[in-house]
Each structure stands twice: as structure tokens, then as C-alpha cells.
Amino acid sequence: MNVQLPTLPDIHDAAARIAPHAVVTPVLRHAALDALAGAELHFKCENLQRGGAFKFRGACNAVWSLTEDEARCGVVTHSSGNHGNALAMAAVTRGIAAHVVVPEGAVRAKLAAIEQAGATIHRCAATQAAREAKAAEVQQATGAVMVHPYANTRVMAGQGTAVLELLRQSEELDAIIMPVGGGGLLSGCAIAAHSLKPAIEMFGAEPAGAADAADSLARGARIEHFTPDTICDGLRALVGEPNLAALREHRVKVITVSDDETIAAMKLLWQHLKLTVEVSSATVFAAILQQRERFAGRRVGLVLTGGNVDLDALPW
């Protein structure tokens, strides 16, 4: 997959492009959570972004980067939820069609959100190969432009805008951590963060049952196939090739956490911040609690990536 990584100017351009449409999300603090972690924690609340997830940033940048000719036939993607919803919402802001390929077993609340956003849904089997094949089929039939969920330069640039905001809101951070699935957010944010603050440490949080990014970094080669086994539905994707290259280049460290640790962290975020975040988002706080010594006394930014929770199917 030959995808060029975005540069800091690309990310600044994305910030200007999405400014009329995206939300500048708040950063929250809580003394009790600081005490539990032994660190100063700054929670970037992308669960309060349009569509309930950071994904709107990348989707919006991709949609508004299209020429008039490219936009005429709309956009297509494959997504288990948040990216599909974000692309559908972004397409509405430009008045173009959106097609979303959804695998079987997608979270009901996320599927409903995609439908409500006005996208045309195409179903497929719950494998990466099936998703990509169906998306290619739809693209050929409609002429729509493919907007990959994470291995897309414009998507990565859009996601990187979250860190531009975070570093303005919390200037003296020592480290930033965010979940890693396909790696679009973490790669874009690592590029932005290190361009602005070369010494800042970048971390990914990944479920132990879907630790392909951690394993790929450890082996020095991308794992091509794996079967995820985690409650974190938003982090089951195989890390993208260009995304992994960015993680390696920016010396990103990936911490793996169990589902039990993540669910416990999700509860604590509700109890103290009064935020209902997706279980995938809670991996970042679970990682901090698991490795208190590593983060002790440091100022850490944690990106809470989404809040699209099925309240009828809470993990506890």
C-alpha cells in the first residue's frame, strides 16, 4: 500500500479546512484520577466531537480535499462504525453521497448512526479481505472515491489536528497516549506532536487480544493476518502499512491491556469525569494505571477517542 505520510503543513492545512465543521473538543482534568495514576492527566475528549468520535476530523478533511470532479460521485469506505458515520456526516456537509461497507457483527448503535447520517450501507462478511473486496466493488459500480479509514494521507492529516489542539490546550505535556487500531490517529498525531515538540513521548494503547501493532513493532515486520479477540470493537483492525511505518519512525511505544483492565478504566472515567466513553477509548487510562511507574509524576495527554456506546450492551 503506497500511501504518503502527511507533513506538519498538511496537518495545519487540514485544521483550517475542517475548522468550519469540526468541534474544538475540551480537555478535562480530575484530581482523583491524577491520584490513582500518580501523574498529571489531561483527557482530550474526542467523544464530544461531531459524530461522537475523532474520526470526523479525518473524514471531513478527506471530503473537503476532493476536487469538484472527484466529489461528484461521492465517497466510499469500509467501517465497523465510527469512520463510516464520520464519512457520512462529512459528505452531508458537502452535499455528496456516501457509501459505507459494514461487516457483520458491527455494534448496533454505530450501525444506526451510519444509517441516520444518510449513508447507503453495503453489508459484507466480518473479515478485512471481505471489507476491502466489497468496497472495491462499490467503488467500481458508483465511481465514488475511496476514503480508507486509516491508510489515507488526508485522513491521517485530519486526525493529526487533535494533537495540534491538545498541545495548545495543555502546553507542557511530557507524553501523549491514544488507542491504536488501524493507526490513522496515532500516526497523524505522532507526526504533528514530534514536529512541534521533538522530545515528547508518544504511546499507543492496544487490547492484548488485538495486539498486532505491538507485535509488529517488536518483530520489525507487519503481521499480515490475525484474529482479534477483544471487546474493543473499534481496535480490531490490522494496523496499516503506512501507519506502522510512521509509528516506527516516531519511536511510538505500544502498551497492551486486557479487556478486564479496560472495562475497569471505563468505569472509573464514568465515575469521576462523568463521561460515557467507548471501551476502546478506555484503553489509554487502563495503560496508565497498568504502568504507573513509567508515568509517575509526568504530565500526560490521553485522547478519549469516542463515545458511541450501546447503552443496552454495556460491558459490565
Tracing cell 478504566 back to the chain, one arrives at 265
| 274 counts as catalytic | no
| 258 counts as catalytic | no
Contact 97, 71 (CB under 8 A): no
> Which one of the listed residues 44, 55, 110, 134 is annotated catalytic?
55
Cα dist. 87→53, 57, 93 in Å?
12, 9, 10
> Which one of the listed residues 80, 170, 216, 280 is annotated catalytic?
80
For residue 253, count CB atoms less than 10 angstroms from its CB and return exposed for 0-12, middle for 13-18, buried for 19 or more.
middle
Helix (H, G, I), strand (E, B) or coil at 139: helix
Cα dist. 184→116, 162, 171 in Å?
25, 12, 23
- 107 contact partners, CB below 8 Å, separation of at least 6: 80, 81, 233, 308, 310, 313
Cα separation of 282 and 48, whole Å?
15
Whose CA is closest to 79, among 224, 196, 184, 214?
A: 184
The catalytic residue positions are 55, 80
